[in-house]
Amino acid sequence: MVNNKKYNKINLPLLKTHRVLAPRIGYMVTTVNNKGQVNAAVFSNLTSVSTDPERIIMGVYKPWDTIKNLRQTKEFVVNLPSRDLMEQVWICGDKHAGNPIPYGVNELEIAGLTAIPSEKVKPPRVKECYAHLECKMLWMKDVGNHYLILGEVLCGSFTKGYMDENYVIDVDKCLPLMEISWNRFTYAKGVMQTDNEKIKNKVKKALADMKIKVSKKLQAYEKKVEIDLLK
């Protein structure tokens, strides 16, 4: 048994361990059912898993209406809300937030948000959000009390002025809303940038001191990263 006191560490209850993965961006996901009724829900269990093709993965609690709609229409839109939409996000948090809204009722209307048409899929985008990913579901897998959804991005869009010419978001303008746990949120503000040359020199010195040689393959990868950073 490890003596955690020695390292100033405390064990978490196992079913609370996911809470250390915070803060996480709160994504507003819109879906529709076969009748065209809109549902808006909020998830932080979502991330990119491939960039060519563009694919994302999303964890959805089994009882949620999002699952019902995905089974019917297999399409969804990921909308990115800013800090200013915290209350609206919590409304769309629906059952998780303790605000149960009946199936088929449009949470966007209750939250005072605006649905606008998507380009490639039936679920709408949320106008007030600063960016959107229109997706089709490729598969759904049972992973516990959640289903894992793999989605392929068919189209992406953003509000003019919120990304630069290289399609990097302006964090100070977007102020991405991030969930800590339950009804506690924070937001991203400010940008830090690494000194690449300083870090590379530090790594090279450490490897040299350890008498470790870098293969030509890794050297080529280093050059590729340099080129990508200049794009």
> pLDDT digits over 107-154, tens only?
999 999 999 999 999 999 999 999 999 999 999 999 999 999 999 999
- Cα 206 from Cα 129, distance rounded (Å): 45
Cα–chain center distance at 106: 22
Q: What's this model's pTM, rounded to 2 decimal places?
A: 0.91
Q: Decide which of 169 and 219 is more confident.
A: 169
Domain 14-187 class, CATH top level: mainly beta
For residue 152, the one-letter residue type is E
Domain ranges of the chain: 14-187, 196-230
pLDDT digits (tens, 9 = 90+) for 92-102: 987 666 778 89
